[in-house]
A and B are shown apart, each in its own frame.
Chain A
Amino acid sequence: MKIMKQIVPMAMAAVLAFGATGCGTTASSSTTTADGKVEIEYWHINSESFAGPTVTDIVKRFNESQDEIVVKEKYIGEYQSIMQNLQADAAVGTSPDLVQIGWSYKEYFGNNFAYTDPNELFAEYGTEETKNFIDDTYAESVQALAVLDSGEMLGMPYGMSIPMLFLNTDIFAEAGIAVEDLVTWWDVDAAARTIAENTDKYGLYIGESNYVWEMQQLIESNGARYITDGICSIYSPESVEAMELYAGLVHDGSALHVVIEEGRQAYLAGEVGIYMDSVAYTNITTTTTDFTEIMVAPGWEDEELQLPIGGNFLAVTSSTDEKKAATAEFLTWMLDAENMLQWNGVTGYIPPIKSAVGSEFMAENPVIQMAYDNLDSAVPWAAFPGNNGLQAEQILIAMRDEILSSGTPSEEAMKKAQEEINKMY
């Protein structure tokens, strides 16, 4: 028994020791379930409050509609989190099958991850009916959004959004302004000042996310361009003018300068007159408030309106033939009008598919229709090329905060940012 007293703890220690080394084995990636079905994984950004249940429903119905494929859907987080998780998985050699990639990561994704060009996917694994699925489903202009400079198609446009203005009609009434008065950014400027003067509310809040999307609309609509011929061209009289309008409103207190979560909460609580955010935000505003009216974000006088496309595209990252085929089939289900529009209805994203045009859905969703009508002015989300693209975006965000928080003149800050970005290329 004395021996036992010694052996047992020693054995436990040994087990723990080996257990510790053992932990960290990669998760097994079984390609088939117990009953021989192919299992594929779908990653998305649809949280509980942002169409999560809808995705679950679409996937469930697909799984029930046939018995060869089982789709596992996973809510990962924001587009940022999806990139991080893709990265982490790639480091150990695994990957999901279908992923929503945010448009701003187009370049980075294309340069660093393995994917299948959708055209090739359907050519190889599609059925008779779906061999030309891409051309059948998407208009040329929409397809172009997901095409790299080299001609390769990264994926299938799925969520599309453009910047909109959400207006608090109660505040407008109190300030004595009409919604129709807002035609250009100059009008927005005047309206914001009026609101700030006549009421105790804020006139304007432009969403300040960790992206440059909102600023892009403001600046490029005035004729400036983030990127020209592959280098940063943000420093120009037009962009300075646009930025100064915005900065001016912030500095005299008519516009709000806070982080995006705080700004959104402020608008929903009825403290902000005009709020710029994605059309995907429509449902949340219309269900939470009763004072909201929506219009497309305006342009300036004379210059061409530029509406950067936000949202995501679906990328096929499967590694085996079996999974690619399964994914192709799942995609036909996802992009089928009924399922697609179900998702659009809840998210507020603009349907990318041809079959949506003129449908009942559009009639029932006037805001989306309004956004859709403006797709002529749609432009890709500005993405700086190569490995430094993400860094470049950060420089622009820092520039925005420098102008708005520290009060550095736009001229100075923008010049500096352009120099810094171009130094990297």
Chain B
Amino acid sequence: MKRIELTDIKKAYGETVVIPKMSFSIADGERLVLLGPSGCGKSTLLRMIAGLENIQEGVLKISGEDVSNVAPGQRNIAMVFQNYALYPHMTVEDNITYGLRQNKVPKEEVEKRLDMVLDMLDLRVYRKRKPKELSGGQRQRVSLARATVKNSEVFLLDEPLSNLDAQLRVSARQSLLDIHEKFKQTIVYVTHDQIEAMTFATKVILLNKGEIQMYDEPYNVYHHPSNVFTAKFIGSPSMNIMEHVHIISNFIRIGKQRMVLDREWRGYLEENTNYFCGIRPENLRITKKKSEQEYSQIEATVQYIENLGANFAVYLQVEGSQLVAVIKEPDFDVNEKVYIEFLQDHLHFFDGTTEKNLGRPASLHSQRQ
């Protein structure tokens, strides 16, 4: 069942058009993450769903009802803000129960929900404290508690973890997942952090300049990016994208260098056209010694090597451009000449003009359905 539906939504501030025309829907119980760079419109979208921004054109439906012009308080939505937005002059328990009390929820019910959420988020010790006496992580939990206690079907979160340090983020994510397990709300979560997105979401919408780049599950977004933007955005270090790549007589031409195209790929793409070619850093292999097979490798010079902890990122200079490879243990040094192999199972080709991913032959890894 579609819990949230957006149809032909437009939003502009004066002359600046933030969202030209957007339509999508979110299924009930989904954990949808709106991901994208600053200014892509993800917060605007979230706030329009909440009712905190008005929708200029288009229709927003929640649970089948048109709520485009309904006041935020009437949409039965819970929201967690980036800066928590707690009422500073109220205690933790007053903060959590304020909305319920004001909406005439019976006392026993309020008590019951309060108890539940205090335990669930480990806040019982702090119930009589005021927000200024709490740490960032504790305040965040109170904010979550306040939203949870509403028992709404839709749960919106606007970069809720950006103000927390790395460790807290992990535990906070866990709490969120627990809540979702229990209540099965439809969650819409805004973030610019792709790790957060990939780990938390059941579905990701990647946005750029007010347009949807890709709407799919995290696995597909990572392994089968629908366009160059998506390919470059997801993954760290980013996918290597090479421009002006041609296929000629079953060779891949990258600059002046040539590499033999694997059997599976032959015939799939047109020759003599411009492509973007992408391959993730972890799908490159580097050897010091040139391979005996002709045209199976590209020459490169090592620019520098970064220690990532579990791996190493090697920055290579190839034909005037830079490639990044992620390998376990480099057995070479900076400025050395090395040879790179592509794991062609994991190659991506994007149309030279539309930048759309042209897919792969059926025999290779394809989209998960």
Direct contact of A and B (CB under 8 A): no
A residues contacting B by CB (< 8 A) are: none
